[in-house]
A and B are shown apart, each in its own frame.
Chain A
Amino acid sequence: AQSVSQHNHHVILSEAASLELGCNYSYGGTVNLFWYVQYPGQHLQLLLKYFSGDPLVKGIKGFEAEFIKSKFSFNLRKPSVQWSDTAEYFCAVNVGDTGRRALTFGSGTRLQVQP
């Protein structure tokens, strides 16, 4: 079974700092990749997704992620964070060549942006 690792459990940054959150998965076949965000008191929302094509994916609110197949990674980046980016971020993977639709999530990274 596939697994998803998010090694940074809690990240604290100052406003305007750059952000990179790591995500690694274990499946060797075709994958579909997602980053979801959960703002305080809100439900999970999609930030961005990768299915195929350009491995550099741009999402909402200035976020982007890069799929590096050789490293089994899909790291999330933002050049300059804002206080409003304080949230929990989840990486998720779907195995694309099995017909399954389930997402496997990482354990999440809590981002705290200090003003």
Chain B
Amino acid sequence: GAGVSQTPSNKVTEKGKYVELRCDPISGHTALYWYRQSLGQGPEFLIYFQGTGAADDSGLPNDRFFAVRPEGSVSTLKIQRTERGDSAVYLCASSLGDRVNEQFFGPGTRLTVL
């Protein structure tokens, strides 16, 4: 079956601009996660959705970052007033149910802020 998909695969933007990154989870997965991976580091948790609601947004670095999942499937990560330090690979993952389980990762969106 189809895995987690993310679009775009690459995004180049200028400092101060607004960007949206999209994630399509595996069909039927109620849990969705966003992580950010900087060069030479492991993924860093940003936010977790269970269904439509953000169950844990403790990893969002500041109020420029926001994510939604209005229908409990597709999610969009939104970054306002981008900064060069936001450059990273943004990973989306999904998993079954509301218990700890294997998280299936997408290919990521590489964001470059010039």
Contact = CB atoms under 8 A, between A and B. Distances in A.
Interface in B90-107: 91, 93, 95, 100, 102-107
B56 A106 contact: no
Contacts of B59: 102
A104 interface: yes
A43 B100 CA distance: 20
Contacts of A36: 105
Contacts of B105: 36, 43-45
Contacts of A45: 105
Given A43-B105, A51-B100, A101 B42 contact: no
Contacts of A49: 102
Give the size range of B's interface with the partner: 20 to 34
Interface in A23-66: 32, 34, 36, 42-46, 49, 51
Nearest to B49: A101
13 contacts: A6-B42, A42-B107, A43-B107, A44-B105, A51-B100, A90-B43, A102-B59, A104-B45, A105-B42, A106-B42, A107-B40, A107-B41, A107-B42
